[in-house]
């Protein structure tokens, strides 16, 4: 059986790091910047970055609606940090009027942008993560958290009382950056579900 082709939305963020993590997890990893590239993947990673900028670039490149359509059709997706924000159905503190982050509506959740604070409030923590043996070391950078989940959303991890990792169907989202740690278990969890 050949490796699944997983795209990394290459508009902003840790694109190289996610490509490396996906390859180590057994996927054929490629960048996605165009509709034809989106149409050619079996799964998609939406990396961190700035959710309002990612939304703007998706609109500028005419990728927003095609991406929403692929997700609605069941395209497996994994979003880290800003990627989590993008996969939500509702975004709190979505940004300045006219420059708001636009939800892709792949996971029934409400996410608060920059919930843990500013860049200086970034932190690291070891978390229990459902489906993964042993703690996951999590790097939080201007991270969101989940304020509400729908009935079909499974909570995978919490930082204190705050939800920081979820799954709904074949979509996974984390408020943190596993691609920065060298631990490939979350990427393997995603790839194994393709």
Q: Annotated binding residue at 95?
A: no
Task: Report residue 37 as tokens.
Answer: 């590239």
Residue 167 assigned as binding residue: no
Catalytic residue, from 17, 18, 179, 187: name it: 179
| End-to-end Cα, the chain, rounded Å | 12
**List 81, 137, 162, 187, catalytic entry:** 81
100 catalytic residue (yes or no):
no
* 142 is annotated as contributing to ligand binding: yes
Handedness of CA 138, 56, 46, 96 (dihedral sign): positive
50 marked as part of a ligand binding site: yes
Instruction: Determine whether the annotation assigns residue 49 to a binding site.
Output: yes
Q: Tell me, yes or no, if 28 is annotated catalytic.
A: no
**Is 18 an active-site residue?**
no
- Known binding-site positions for L-glutamine: 49-51, 113, 141-142
Catalytic residues: 81, 177, 179
């Amino acid at each position: 059986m050949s490796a699944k082709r997983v795209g990394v939305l290459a508009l902003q963020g840790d694109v190289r790091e996610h490509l490396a993590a996906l390859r180590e997890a057994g996927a054929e990893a490629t960048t996605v910047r165009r509709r034809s590239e989106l149409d050619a993947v079996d799964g998609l990673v939406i990396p961190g970055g700035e959710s309002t900028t990612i939304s703007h670039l998706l609109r500028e490149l005419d990728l927003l609606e095609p991406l929403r359509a692929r997700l609605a059709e069941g395209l497996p997706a994994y979003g880290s940090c800003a990627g989590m924000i993008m996969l939500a159905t509702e975004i709190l503190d979505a940004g300045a009027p006219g420059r708001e982050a636009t939800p892709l509506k792949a996971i029934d959740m409400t996410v608060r942008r920059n919930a843990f604070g500013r860049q200086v409030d970034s932190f690291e923590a070891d978390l229990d993560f459902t489906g993964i043996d042993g703690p996951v070391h999590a790097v939080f950078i201007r991270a969101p958290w989940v304020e509400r989940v729908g009935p079909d959303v499974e909570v995978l991890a919490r930082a204190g009382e705050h939800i920081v990792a979820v799954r709904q169907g074949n979509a996974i989202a984390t408020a943190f950056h596993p691609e920065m740690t060298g631990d490939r278990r979350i990427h393997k969890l995603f790839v194994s579900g393709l």
